[in-house]
Amino acid sequence: MSTMATALTTQVYSIFIKASPEQVWEAITTPEFTEKYFYGVPVTITAETFDGGASAQGAVVEFDPPHKLVHSWRALYDTETAAEPESRVTWEIAAQDGGVSLLTVVHDRLDESPKTAESVAGGWSYILSGLKSVLETGKGLAG
Amino acid sequence: MDDDRVFKALADPTRRHLLDRLFERDGRTLTELESELEMTRFGVMKHLKVLEEAGLVVARRSGREKLHFLNPVPIRLIHDRWISKYAERHVAALADLKHELEETA
């Protein structure tokens, strides 16, 4: 996108989801769930690694189910983003009233990775919107 | 239920202007935002609060500073709920026509 802003070094995304923190955690870390909203990619997250196959890889630095997950990020789906330094993704899940969870994703340390910053800027909104849809309706977004 | 808050938050030119400022450069303090608007600190705070309640702005602490970030997810949700549903193609065609007619006028 040509109109994309210059300062995208820290990006913040948040969404309310009608599900428990445990359900949100499971949807983030289990490949059967992620392939329904993460651009079809089965992602496996353990206390050590974020494994998105040929799409993205990272090392997990904080693993605190069902509250917080921090991992490094290298997007491999594009040669330009793959060549950039690793950035960092933080997932925070906070229980709210009425069986609702607030999920916040912070993608930072993007200062040296402008291609990655531009590439993920639209992607996280799509992913979180799909994640909400999967948890609340059982279905991913159409198309 | 959250759609109402988002539509209300977006129905004000100052708040849309604030979102555009954050789109240009994200993660800003109240003081920075205030310096770009001809408005009192209290006024800017009030608008930021409405945007925060709608989820369009997320405030996060960084050391001693409170930084404001644009959260595009609610707009994405409105897009998924309203825009794609009502035949995006036809709407796009009309929008193109409007641009073309206005530019050549």
Across residues B28-43, what is the average pLDDT? 92
pLDDT digits (tens, 9 = 90+) for A48-61: 999 999 999 999 99
C-beta separation of A66 from A93 below 8 A: yes
pTM tops 0.80? yes
- Total domains in the fold of chain A: 1
Q: Domain check: are B1 and B48 in the same one?
A: yes
List of residues 6+ apart from A131 with CB closer than 8 A: A15, A17, A24, A27, A28, A37, A103
Smallest CA–CA distance, residue A84 to chain B, in Å, is 21
Q: Domain check: are B65 and B97 in the same one?
A: no
Nearest to B69 among A12, A129, A132 (CB): A12
Nearest to A12 among B60, B75, B77 (CB): B60
Whose structure tokens read 């494994």? A51
The domain in which residue A32 lies consists of 11-137
> Residue A46: pLDDT above 60?
yes
Give me B25's structure tokens: 């450069």
Whole-number pLDDT of residue B83:
77
Backbone angles phi, psi at B62, to 5 degrees: -135, 100
Contact assignment for B72 to A13 by CB distance below 8 Å: yes
Domain-located, residue A22: yes
Across residues A37-51, what is the average pLDDT? 95
Q: Domain check: are B51 and B83 in the same one?
A: no
Helix (H, G, I), strand (E, B) or coil at A9: coil
Total H helices, total E strands in chain A: 4, 7
In angstroms, the CA A36 to CA B9 distance is: 31
In angstroms, the CA A26 to CA B82 distance is: 29
ipTM for the assembly? 0.82
Across residues B32-59, what is the average pLDDT? 94
Domain-located, residue A2: no
Whole-number pLDDT of residue B86:
73
Judge whether B83 is closer than 8 Å to chain A, CB to CB: no
The domain in which residue B6 lies consists of 1-71
Domain-located, residue A96: yes
Whole-number pLDDT of residue B50:
97
User: What are the C-alpha distances in Å from B95 to residues A1, A91, B37?
Assistant: 19, 38, 30
CATH code at position A60: 3.30.530.20
Q: Domain check: are B20 and B61 in the same one?
A: yes
CATH code at position B43: 1.10.10.10
Q: Domain check: are B55 and B80 in the same one?
A: no
Chain B hits for A117, CB-CB cut-off 8 Å, are none
Domain-located, residue A1: no
Q: Domain check: are B28 and B38 in the same one?
A: yes
What is the greatest pairwise CA distance in chain A? 44
Domain-located, residue A142: no
Whole-number pLDDT of residue A4:
43
Beta bridge partners of B29: none
- Total domains in the fold of chain B: 2
In angstroms, the CA B44 to CA B23 distance is: 17
Smallest CA–CA distance, residue A92 to chain B, in Å, is 13
Chain B hits for A90, CB-CB cut-off 8 Å, are none
Q: Domain check: are B65 and B91 in the same one?
A: no
